[in-house]
A and B are shown apart, each in its own frame.
Chain A
């Protein structure tokens, strides 16, 4: 099977997904991905005419069921402290992050 997920492709996916994995976990995940692909390949056998539209959600929204646009107006919220309290590190109501990798451009 030419298009199984190779170790190199897998490593690229891990980069895209911003994950750090240990070896054992990586081996399990790559095996399961390839196993899922065998099921996904069932889709290749289905003849779908070009006229069949793409469905992004099942139920169509009609003029009767589509929610009206709401007016664009600011509403006060008193939840700011509760929301800020959820951040792992805060200083003077700023959320703290470690150094952002950067390079100086010529």
Chain B
């Protein structure tokens, strides 16, 4: 298939639109055509009956905001024609994960309980991307309230497929975002990462996924899951696009008291600075971990998939050839407790955040002539929430209820400190190891078949085993394509750095991207679009 406008990287689209070599409307039409060609039937909350063709298409969008996007594209073209600069993302098709409010669009978080909700305002990162010229083409599908690693828990079905093999999951919770970007339906996506929800699907779909430092990007207008862990971030096809988009969305916001007042550098400036002299760490604690046996479900010590381990070693060798110093045996011993601690912390925060959905102020309401207020709450929530949401609320209740909790919550918060201390020790510039960044696998496996894991909430949660530590610690993590496994499925490799080191992670990722640009797998494209 010949490359269309929608297959170009975001920075190149913006360059052409600003230089009047292409109009934003032409770019939008190209992306809309791609959506028509590959997305298949629009996911709905109606009772789901699967059709064979559902597994040949992607279903990445819950809403395609065609009219709104046309208005935005025309405004960009008018600005260019009037000699004004529409911004660094001029005409770039943007998929917004449907847990962000975008004014005038349905903003569902993948849940029936928010199905009727039309956002009366836009989230800060959405506002900033649109002000920079990006065109919001649609709202991407996700696990319900982001609770999952496969997108199968969305109330809007069919759930998204993986462009590399649509019978497999795209990962989650930003599965629609990653599938859309991988298949050219959008050039970038605004997504969120609470335990790996950007990096894991980016790895499964062979694209770039950035979880910035906690506080780097405002959460205003984001539908909350676990407020101390949620990070808005970017999915893109190239490192440069993620750097460009982060520069747009990062920075202080008076409407979010957790948005850090740290200066925002030009993330694209030092992108090609190389890795000479950098100390890049490999940790055995990211290769051998305790997680459930995929067959029996028993928790036991296992190595991650050998092909993924080999891809990380290969990346280390490539970076060493570029002049980086590879430091082996960097110990991060508390990595294995990331998921157990997350089971507690995230559930308590989720249960608290989800109490607001009551059928009164907005969203779905169960109507019943005879009900009183309490019955209204129970029925609205019983029918509005899917099983994975109920599971999180109930666990949150259990581990925070005084009579049951057995100190789990306090213990989990202390373990969170231990995980943070692991990173502080290895990144300490005055410490013995002085690691600039860590190189790890993103996931223990590549994309699994739709229907294989869903329903087993423990096995599903462990898909975030290698990514959740960055959320506990608040540090940035970047997943980049690192090759394909023997079934032709993408492998993701992850870079982790100290607080606010995004520019450094981009630089290392870019060095790897360039060093491997000639490798055979780089020329291979997903099965969709055919």
* Bound pair (A, B): yes
A33 touches B391 (CB 8 A): yes
Q: Which of B252, B378, B385: most chain A Cβ within 10 A?
A: B378
CB distance from A25 to the nearest CB of B (A): 6
Q: Residue B36 at the A interface, CB < 8 A? A: no
Query: How far, in angstroms, from A79 to B46 measured CA to CA in the complex?
Result: 31
Nearest chain-B residue to A30 (Cβ)?
B394
**Which 6 pairs of residues, A with B, have the shortest CB-CB distance?**
A58-B474, A20-B382, A82-B120, A59-B474, A88-B365, A86-B362
Report A37 CB to chain B, min CB distance, Å.
8
From DSSP, what is the main secondary structure of chain A's interface residues? loop
Min Cβ gap B184→A in Å is 34
CA distance A77 to B217 in the complex (A): 24
Q: Is the CB of B340 within 8 A of A43?
A: yes
CB distance from B338 to the nearest CB of A (A): 10
Task: Give chain A residues whose Cβ lies under 8 Å from the Cβ of B376.
Answer: 97-98
Smallest Cβ distance from B460 to chain A, in angstroms? 10
How many A residues touch B, CB cutoff 8 Å?
Answer: 57
Query: Which residue in B361, B382, B415 is a CB contact (below 8 Å) of A86?
Result: B361
Residues of B within 8 A of A (CB): 116-118, 120-121, 213-215, 228-229, 252, 254, 257-262, 290, 297, 299, 334, 336-337, 339-341, 343-344, 351, 355, 358-365, 367, 371-379, 381-383, 385, 387, 390-391, 393-395, 397-399, 401, 404, 406, 408, 410-418, 420, 455-458, 461, 471-475, 499
Query: Is the Cβ of A36 less than 8 Å from the Cβ of B457?
Result: yes
B341 and A43 form a contact (CB under 8 A):
yes
Residue in A3, A5, A89 whose beta carbon sits within 8 Å of that of B365 in the complex: A89
Contacts A20-B382, A67-B257, A95-B361; A43 near B344 (Cβ below 8 A): yes
Q: Is A101 an interface residue (CB 8 A)?
A: yes
Contact A42 B337 (CB under 8 A): yes
Mask for A76-91, Cβ within 8 A of B = 1, else 0?
0001001101111100
CA A34 to CA B351, docked complex, whole Å:
17
**Contact yes or no, A86 B398, CB < 8 A:** no
Which residue from B257, B340, B358, B410 sits with its C-beta under 8 Å from A42? B340
Q: Decide: B420 and A58 in contact? CB cutoff 8 A.
A: yes
> Would you call B391 and A66 a contact (CB within 8 A)?
no
Q: Is the CB of A101 within 8 A of B372?
A: yes
Nearest Cβ distance between residue B466 and chain A, in whole angstroms? 16
Total cross-chain contacts (CB, 8 A): 204
A83 closest partner in B (C-beta)? B120
- Do B214 and A57 touch (CB < 8 A)? yes
- Within 8 Å of chain B (Cβ to Cβ): is A105? no
> What are 23 A-B residue pairs whose CB atoms fall within 8 Å in the complex?
A13-B394, A13-B401, A18-B381, A36-B343, A40-B343, A42-B336, A42-B337, A42-B340, A54-B416, A56-B228, A56-B413, A57-B214, A59-B473, A59-B499, A65-B260, A65-B261, A67-B252, A86-B118, A86-B120, A88-B116, A88-B362, A97-B376, A98-B372
Known A13-B397, A38-B299, A98-B373: A58·B472 in contact at CB below 8 Å:
yes
Bound Cα distance from A25 to B290, whole angstroms: 29
Whether A55 is near chain B, meaning CB under 8 Å from some CB there, is yes
Nearest Cβ in chain A — how far from B15, in angstroms?
Answer: 33
- Measured CA separation A48–B473 after assembly (Å): 17
Tell me if B413 and A55 are in contact (CB < 8 A): yes
Chain A residues within 8 Å of B341, by CB: 43
The 8 A CB mask of A15-33 against B (1 = contact, 0 = none) is 0111111000100110011
Question: Do B378 and A43 have beta carbons less than 8 Å apart?
Answer: no
Partner of B414 from the list A35, A52, A87 (CB cut-off 8 Å) is A52
Asked whether B414 lies within 8 Å of A48 as measured between CB atoms, the reply is yes
Chain B residues whose CB sits within 8 angstroms of the CB of A13 once the complex forms: 394, 397-398, 401
State whether A87 touches B372 (Cβ < 8 A): no
B360 x A19 contact (CB < 8 A): no
Given A29-B387, A43-B412, A98-B371, 20 other A-B residues pairs in contact with their CB atoms under 8 A: A18-B377, A20-B379, A33-B398, A38-B299, A39-B458, A39-B461, A43-B341, A43-B408, A54-B410, A54-B413, A55-B472, A58-B471, A67-B257, A86-B361, A86-B362, A88-B360, A95-B361, A98-B372, A98-B375, A100-B372
